[in-house]
């Protein structure tokens, strides 16, 4: 379905409302100092972020003129408060931000104006594009609110939790490696109607050797073996940058792990609980994933290998999701929730080669540096991809907190290799001889 058809069916209006409802639900209980929090590099002040998503929506859906100039914002001085490309991260705590009630009123006013414009100009493909951009932008910030709540030990978000079906015990079908035949593959998004980000454009041929990729992500039980066998002390397992991060951080286990009475515990938001051994390891950075791979005699997949494992089914056509082209539901993927499930759960969501949870549960680090595909041209929101080429690593697949409408097999996430605040884990590949 094209973006224009979605507008005609009121799909975009519904998405706008749903995205806003989710970001509100994730922040509605926060008050006072919680709206700011400490000045950390990995979080934004919540009050600033609430205003920023409204500013972004207004900037692209209401203020943008054909000549590239901007109309006056609804909130006087909004550009000096909320333009993330112009306001240094550390300064966001010092801005004269409107109070919470005024910020929410600003959000409501912008939303009403965008919805009214959608109704008036339902045949405008340019508006359709920017509305979809605003929806996905707010979806990404909603997941960032999850990260903030985890980082700052706030209570578990007050969200309706999806009923994920099909939780399964370990089986021969879910363990071990899937054998992927390799060959010629079209990496990236095709030119079918619909919205894709600039870093997914466009599908281009690559050649892959046959490879073997784990059917499941690395579990807490597997990673605990690495920790118990002194993986955080063994210099030979770490690259130079990883060892430098390890010495500076003092890490001895994944972030939010601790040992009590000889047993591992994990903090999830504001509560400590026994480590769930069958769940994927989470809050590990790229360096930790690489060190584990060396310990295990394995390697991280490239993003091309990951996408091929997720989308190929033995036919020329690529699948949009590992299980096919039908949108995600709770039988196939753990999305829009508050916690991961076991690595071998949700067999209905397996890929054609039997890999589980390539979509949802945890983002998965790949070995690939984030960069442009051949012929890359930035989209109008130029700050989305291009500034981060070469300094970030690619992650794929989404997490338990990712909105279902946002994710697909070709979607590329990207973070710097030391980040462990995000809901990220990894799966491994065999070292081919």
Torsion-angle region of 218 (φ positive above 0: left; ψ -120 to 50: alpha; else: beta) = beta
The domains of the chain, with CATH numbers, are 3-151 (1.20.120), 162-433 (3.90.1580.10)
User: What distance in Å separates the CA atoms of residue 420 and residue 288, rounded to the nearest whole number?
Assistant: 9
Beta bridge partners of 219: 280
- Assess whether pLDDT exceeds 50 at residue 61: yes
Mean pLDDT across the chain = 94
Mean of pLDDT values over 357-368: 98
Whether the CB-CB separation of 73 and 55 falls below 8 Å is answered with yes
Going by DSSP bridges, is the β-strand pair 393-396/363-369 parallel, antiparallel, or unpaired? Answer: antiparallel
CA-to-CA distance for 236 and 238, rounded, in angstroms? 6
In angstroms, rounded to a whole number, what is the distance separating the alpha carbons of residues 349 and 336?
15
- What is the Cα–Cα distance from 232 to 243, expressed in whole angstroms? 9
Does the N-terminal peptide bond of residue 279 adopt cis geometry, omega within 30 degrees of 0? no
pLDDT band at 2 (very low <50, low <70, confident <90, very high): very low
Note the pLDDT of residue 167. 53
- HEC letters along 390-411: CCCEEEECCCCCCCHHHCCCCC
For 10-58, write each residue's pLDDT tens digit.
Answer: 799 999 999 999 999 999 999 999 999 999 999 999 999 999 999 999 9
Residues 6+ apart with CB under 8 A from 32: none
pTM over 0.85: yes
Average pLDDT estimate for 256-268: 97
Span 290-302, average pLDDT = 98
Give the dihedral of Cα atoms 393, 294, 235, 365; nearest 10 deg: 20
Give the model's pLDDT for residue 432. Answer: 83
- The Cα–Cα gap between 97 and 104 comes to 12
At 316, is the pLDDT very low, low, confident or very high (cuts 50, 70, 90)?
confident
Q: Using pLDDT thresholds of 50, 70 and 90, give the confidence band for residue 173.
A: low
* Confidence at residue 377, expressed as pLDDT on a 0 to 100 scale: 98
Tell me what the mean pLDDT of segment 330-339 comes to: 96
Residue 433: what pLDDT? 66
């Amino acid at each position: 379905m094209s973006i224009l058809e979605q507008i005609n069916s009121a799909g975009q209006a519904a998405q706008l409302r749903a995205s806003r409802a989710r970001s509100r639900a994730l922040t509605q209980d926060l008050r006072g100092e919680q709206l700011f929090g400490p000045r950390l590099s990995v979080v934004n002040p919540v009050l600033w972020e609430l205003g920023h998503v409204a500013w972004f929506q207004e900037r692209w859906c209401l203020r943008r003129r054909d000549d590239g100039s901007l109309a006056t914002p609804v909130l006087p001085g909004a550009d000096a408060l909320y333009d993330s490309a112009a306001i240094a991260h550390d300064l966001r705590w010092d801005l004269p931000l409107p109070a919470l009630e005024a910020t929410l009123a600003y959000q409501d006013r912008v939303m009403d104006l965008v919805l009214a414009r959608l109704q008036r100009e339902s045949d405008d493909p340019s508006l359709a594009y920017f509305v979809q951009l605003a929806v996905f932008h707010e979806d990404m910030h909603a997941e960032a609110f999850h990260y903030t709540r985890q980082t700052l030990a706030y209570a578990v978000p007050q969200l309706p939790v999806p009923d994920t079906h099909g939780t399964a015990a370990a089986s021969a079908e879910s363990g071990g490696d899937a054998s992927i035949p390799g060959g010629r593959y079209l990496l990236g998004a095709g030119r079918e109607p619909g919205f894709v980000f600039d870093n997914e454009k466009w599908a281009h041929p690559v050649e892959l050797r046959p490879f073997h990729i784990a059917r499941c992500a690395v579990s807490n039980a597997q990673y605990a073996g690495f920790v118990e066998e002194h993986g955080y002390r063994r210099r030979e397992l770490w690259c130079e940058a990883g060892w430098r991060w390890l010495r500076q951080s003092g890490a001895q286990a994944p972030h939010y792990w601790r040992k009590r009475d000889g047993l591992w515990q994990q903090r999830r938001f504001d509560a400590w609980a026994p480590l769930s051994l069958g769940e994927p390891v989470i809050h590990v950075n790229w360096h930790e994933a690489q060190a584990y791979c060396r310990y295990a005699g394995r390697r991280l997949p490239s993003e091309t290998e990951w996408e091929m494992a997720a989308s190929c089914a033995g036919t020329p056509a690529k699948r949009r999701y590992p299980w096919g082209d039908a949108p995600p539901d709770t039988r196939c993927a753990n999305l829009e929730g508050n916690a991961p499930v076991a690595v071998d759960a949700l067999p209905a969501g397996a890929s054609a080669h039997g890999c589980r949870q390539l979509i949802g549960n945890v983002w998965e680090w790949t070995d690939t540096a984030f960069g442009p595909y051949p012929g890359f041209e930035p989209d109008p929101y130029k700050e989305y991809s291009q500034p981060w080429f070469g300094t970030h690593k690619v992650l794929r697949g989404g997490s338990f907190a990712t909105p279902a409408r946002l994710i697909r097999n070709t979607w590329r996430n990207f973070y710097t290799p030391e980040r462990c605040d995000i809901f990220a884990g990894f799966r491994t590949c065999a070292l081919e001889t």
